[in-house]
Amino acid sequence: MPKHNHPDLLSQEIPFADAAIYRLNENQAMVQSVDFFTPVVDDPYKYGQIAASNSLSDVFAVGAKPLTAMNVIGFPLCQLGPDVLLQILQGGAERVQQAGALIVGGHSVEDDEPKYGLSVTGMVDPNKMFSPCNCRVGDRLVLTKPLGTGIIATALKGEVLTEDEVQEAVEGMIMLNNTAAQVMTELGVTACTDITGFGLVGHGLELAEASNVGLQIYPSQLPAYPQAREMAEIGLLPEGAYRNRDYYFERVDGARECNQFALDLLSDPQTSGGLLIAVSKDKLGLLLQRLQAEQVPAFTIGEVVAEHCGRILLAD
């Protein structure tokens, strides 16, 4: 991708930026992001909901409000028929409406396997937006959804589990990150990113590198969806988990002393995962209280440290 030297392209100064951020004036910046993927559940409506929530997450992670969304679709119409496509689009539209945005169009192509997501445009005050760059030593790390969606999706594809058995994980993937983003914007936090395909290990390292700090992750405090441990113990790990482990674990200290399931959660690629928020120690209690009052899961999983710069330390 070409490099730009434009004073209003704010995202060029953000390492690992998942969204493009373009300043329009002193108080407004446009945020743009696009994402799509193949089904992780069999129910077409829920698949649409999950894909839409995942696509909206990058906008919420910078503290922006989504305004419009456009459908991005690859679909085998002759094999699956228009009714399935309609249910996918209806699921996506429900999440976009819940997020307070509008679907204004889209584009579709014939494909051998369904693919769905959104191109999202939002707005943020550039003076108040969040990035991975501002973690401070002593900050606490809060995660707003459990881990394990990659493990569970693998079990679903292998027909080891049914969707009814993993309803909590499905509902977690459907849940928008908008309420968590609103709370952290009102309270004021230090930094934020969302946890998706690179897993907690990859996106955590992005925070550490961008902020020139270390992250201490508490292995015993990593939250997991029900069934994730059981599936991991019988070896149902997604391919992406092995890629994440191979690429990122050379920058993880303490892995040899850590239990295997914590390592599996750390590397598990998330679909529509939660936000990883760095917040000052004195605001931690209020952040947890506000999130829980809004029925948003909230887990303190670590802290920002001066040592292990650009790395993750696994230690309780």
- Residues 199 and 96 reside in one and the same domain: no
CATH code assigned at 296: 3.90.650.10
Q: Look at residue 1 in the predicted model and tell me its pLDDT.
A: 65
Domain presence at residue 4:
no
Domain presence at residue 5:
no
Domain presence at residue 90:
yes
DSSP string, the chain: ------TTBGGGGSTT-SSEEEEEETTEEEEEEEEEE--SSS-HHHHHHHHHHHHHHHHHHTT-EEEEEEEEEEE-HHHHHHHHHHHHHHHHHHHHHHTT-EEEEEEEEE-SS-EEEEEEEEEE-TTT---TT---TT-EEEESS-B-HHHHHHHHHTTSS-GGGGHHHHHHHHS-SHHHHHHHHHH--SEEEE--TTHHHHHHHHHHHHHT-EEEE-GGG--B-TTHHHHHHTT---HHHHHHHHHHGGGEESGGGS-HHHHHHHHPPPSS--EEEEE-HHHHHHHHHHHHHTT---EEEEEEESSSTTSEEE--
- Residues 160 and 273 reside in one and the same domain: yes
Give the C-alpha separation, 256 to 252, whole Å. 10
Domain presence at residue 84:
yes
Q: What is the pLDDT of residues 232-272, one digit of tens each?
A: 999 999 999 999 999 999 999 999 999 999 999 999 999 99
Domain presence at residue 2:
no
Q: What is the pLDDT of residues 14-39, one digit of tens each?
A: 888 889 999 999 999 999 999 999 99
- Residues 172 and 305 reside in one and the same domain: yes
CATH code assigned at 79: 3.30.1330.10
Domain presence at residue 154:
yes
Contact 25/126 with Cβ under 8 angstroms? no
**Domains: count for the chain:** 2
- Of 100, 124, 148, the last residue of a domain is 124
Domain presence at residue 49:
yes
- The whole-number average pLDDT for the span 225-229 is 97
- The whole-number average pLDDT for the span 279-304 is 97
What pTM, to 2 d.p., does this model score?
0.95
What the block records as the tokens of 276 is 């990883």
- Residues 305 and 195 reside in one and the same domain: yes
Domain holding 116, by residue range, is: 10-124
- Residues 70 and 208 reside in one and the same domain: no
Q: Please state, rounded to an integer, the average pLDDT across all residues of the chain.
A: 96
- Residues 149 and 30 reside in one and the same domain: no
Domain presence at residue 103:
yes
- Residues 284 and 158 reside in one and the same domain: yes
- Residues 222 and 195 reside in one and the same domain: yes
- Residues 190 and 240 reside in one and the same domain: yes
